[in-house]
Amino acid sequence: MKTLEELLFKYPNIFQVIQDAAISAGKDIMDIYAKEHVVTDWKADNSPLTQADLRAHDVISQILCSNFPDVQLVSEEGEAAVEGTLDDVFFLVDPLDGTKEFIKRTGEFTVNIGLVVQGMTKIGAVYLPAQDTLYATTQHGTAVVISAASKGADERKSKQVLVRSLPADGPTVVMSASHSSNETRDYCALYNPATTISAGSSLKFCKIAEGEADYYPRLGRTMEWDTAAAHAVLKAAGGNVLTLKDAEELKYGKPGLDNSYFIAAADINNIIKSEIDWR
């Protein structure tokens, strides 16, 4: 399979299965979150790793691989896949995005499942287990937010989300709760924001998608699994994620799966480029 059309023809249930996988992983995450003490290990890059990351990875892998056996799965916790050749179509997964927020118990951590086709993110599900809220793309090309997402049909509430026009009094800029820097703050100031807010994990993208914020610049290291799912949701809501250096849409399947500096935006026509670029 090389196109989204071919994939949807073969797997018309893919949107629902991706959502179900994110919610199932979220349930396991919350089982561990409820414990008084969470054991934390550390990876080679000095990022934290918990049992919740690993259990969520196992749940998602089992569901996606059993339902879509011929679609490659690339996960943050499945590092062997990163070193191999990437297919034209592949899942890009962060089983627990915002592990630092998980450890600090802020509730601002997510499960991210994205689908990449020919280097572009096309389908995404971002689940916030602590809020039981799901942001997702739909088969109609729109984006929705679903509250009480793990509940039955009579309790779930779904509504379409759309980015907003820039407010007359200035934009709201979102900054990372755990990865802010002077460089980022200086860049944010170029937009003369009326308000600056802080958020963890992929929630930053979702705030733009549902019209609560306008820009989220990231001048620092991120990996493709950090952004693919939420990028798809933001695109479906009318926004996009652009590289700061050339203001082109952020692509996926790059060597090493490293992102360049980027900005997630509701309005892509007023992006301020930056010559600073992380590789």
* CATH 1.10.340.30 for the 172-270 domain, yes or no: no
- Letter for the amino acid at 19? Q
pLDDT digits (tens, 9 = 90+) for 106-148: 999 999 999 999 999 999 999 999 999 999 999 999 999 999 9
Please give the average pLDDT of every successive group of 10 residues along the chain, which has 279 residues. 91 98 97 79 74 95 98 87 79 94 91 98 98 97 98 94 96 80 87 92 95 95 96 98 95 94 94 68
Q: In this predicted structure, what is the pLDDT of residue 216?
A: 96
Cβ contact 137:15 at 8 Å: yes
Q: Which helix (H) or strand (E) holds 176?
A: strand 172-176
Superfamily of domain 4-160: Fructose-1,6-Bisphosphatase, subunit A, domain 1 (3.30.540.10)
Q: What distances in angstroms separate CA 235 from CA 1, 104, 126, 175, 231, one per listed residue? A: 23, 30, 13, 19, 6
Q: Where in the chain is the domain with CATH 3.40.190.80?
A: 172-270
141-167 pLDDT per residue, tens: 999 999 999 999 899 999 999 999 999
Q: Where in the chain is the domain with CATH 3.30.540.10?
A: 4-160
pLDDT for res 49: 81
| Cβ–Cβ under 8 Å, residues 253 and 227 | no
Task: Give the predicted TM-score (pTM) of the model.
Answer: 0.93
CA angle 144, 147, 152 (to 5 degrees): 110
